[in-house]
Amino acid sequence: MITLRDKKSTRWAVLMIVSFTMMAAYFFYDAMAPLKGMLERTQAWSSNDYGTFTSAYSWLNVFLLMLFMGGILLDRKGIRFTGGLAASLMVIGALIKYAALSGILPVEGELFGLKGQVFYASAGFAVYGVGSEVAGVVVSRTIIKWFKGYELALAMGLQVAIARIGTGIALLTANPLAASLKGIPQLILFGVLLLVIGLIALLIYNIRFDKKLDEQIGREELSSPEDKFRFADLVAVISNYGFWLIAILCVLFYSCVFPFLKFAPDLMVNKFGVSEEWAGAIVALLPFGTILLTPLFGNIYDKKGKGATIMIIGALMLVVVHGLFSIPFINHWIYAVVLMIVLGIAFSLVPSAMWPSVQKIIPEKQLGTAFALIFWVQNIGLWGVPLLIGGVLDKHIITNVEKVVDGTTVTVKLYDYTIPMLIFTASAVLSVFIAFLLKNEDKKKAYGLENPNIT
């Protein structure tokens, strides 16, 4: 029987729809990264405040296990219900963040040891983080549903590439947009609008594609009893050594990238002497560079295999880049440009092979839970690393300098980024070690990580 997923044009239409939702999510996630200096000047935030706010993305996912619950919900209730809920949570959290930064919510005083504004903005970001991470699990499961046996790694690579367009646009335009829109809150409101459109896109997918495919293959929204999530499946996942290797590789690798991107524009300003207006543009070379490379490497994995080897090469490149960033005398902006390009290549290699490899290690009926657990482990890094980096920076202020910004003289802090970059380097070294262990485990268990995906 020919189904919707057997039609190439329909498969790729589905990919474009769900990828737009993630592009909007990535834009909102990274929109504040180039504005750290502006927050310090206009809102009196410290590096520790910024690090706390950034880490808040993972508060509920890590400590209340909301991401894990989202994975179970996906296995029990399916893509349509869980996806709609996740996209709605993104919009709600984004609105709370907007209310905090625009002054709608109280900003005076302290709550739980945090400035009022920092607390409410962080709370909104935490709610958004639940929706964003669960949406990522839903989209990964959706792509596997439509592309298994076809161009799976290429499809996953394209989804990541399209999503990172959101990151690239955020890094490139956040500073000038905030200036032209007369403030950070207006920029956040623009991000909310994108998330609303992303929610609508997901609802269109639910009605137009997912429901019809389930009807064609003889399944309702709830799968048959033997396919439903059971806690025995959870035990099976967490007992799988290969699963833990890929989960730990994920947290180590992404801890070197996503938290780094949150501080990278500030690194460009403090170490390489780049202006705030251009700092985001240099950092944007990373996500824009991955737009072509991630699908390319995914296509290679689909046709040639070598997934474990690809992950090792990407992790090694990460060690080189962060190691060079940590050297004090490498401080010319041209070096920064070259290193960001190389980092973009590394950031394309590992995810293009890592995510398609999960379905080779974990049975399909457990994929929702497995992806949720991997994302949960990843969120531990997304919570802890920004908090650590922000605290380290506040203890390594080089000097306060007077600077003219928009015709006004303001005091700007300059930070020493040597220790933060060494922290990122150490994480990258560990990721190389885990990648080698994963390749060795593949040889023992014959997962097929080195085999092509197209059968």
- Mean of the per-residue pLDDT values of the chain: 87
Cα 436 to Cα 288, 315, 342: the distances in Å are 28, 10, 21
Higher pLDDT, 171 or 293: 171
> Quick one: pLDDT band at residue 455, thresholds 50, 70, 90?
low
> Quick one: pLDDT band at residue 403, thresholds 50, 70, 90?
low
Count the alpha carbons within 13 Å of 126 in the hemisphere toward its beta carbon. 19
- 2 lies in a domain? no
- Please, are residues 284 and 168 in contact by the beta-carbon 8 Å criterion? yes
Q: What are phi and psi of 218, to 5 degrees?
A: 80, 30
- 6 lies in a domain? no
> Is residue 224 scored above 50 in pLDDT?
no
Average pLDDT over residues 15-41: 91
- 4 lies in a domain? no
How many domains is the chain partitioned into structurally?
1
The token duo for 26 is 């990535």
pLDDT digits (tens, 9 = 90+) for 114-124: 888 999 999 99
pLDDT digits (tens, 9 = 90+) for 157-182: 888 888 989 999 999 888 888 888 77
- 1 lies in a domain? no
Range of the domain at 29: 11-216+225-445
- 95 lies in a domain? yes
- 450 lies in a domain? no
- 52 lies in a domain? yes
> Which residues lie below 8 Å from residue 409, measured CB to CB, with a gap of 6+?
402, 403
Count the alpha carbons within 13 Å of 186 in the hemisphere toward its beta carbon. 9
Cα 227 to Cα 75, 85, 176: the distances in Å are 8, 22, 50
CATH of the domain at 35: 1.20.1250.20
Q: How many helices (H) and strands (E) does the chain have?
A: 19, 4
pLDDT at 406: 57
> Quick one: pLDDT band at residue 222, thresholds 50, 70, 90?
very low
- Can you tell me the distance from the alpha carbon of 287 to that of 160, in angstroms, rounded to the nearest whole number? 10
Cα 420 to Cα 231, 272, 274, 423: the distances in Å are 40, 15, 19, 5
Higher pLDDT, 368 or 94: 94
pLDDT at 84: 93
The CA-based angle 187-190-192, given to 5 degrees, is: 115
The token duo for 219 is 């399944």
- 335 lies in a domain? yes
- Give DSSP secondary structure letters for 90-152: HHHHHHHHHHHHHTSS--SSEETTEEHHHHHHHHHHHHHHHHHHHHHHHHHHHHHHHHTTSSH
Residue with tokens 């809920």: 85
Average pLDDT over residues 289-308: 82
- Can you tell me the distance from the alpha carbon of 232 to that of 454, in angstroms, rounded to the nearest whole number? 30
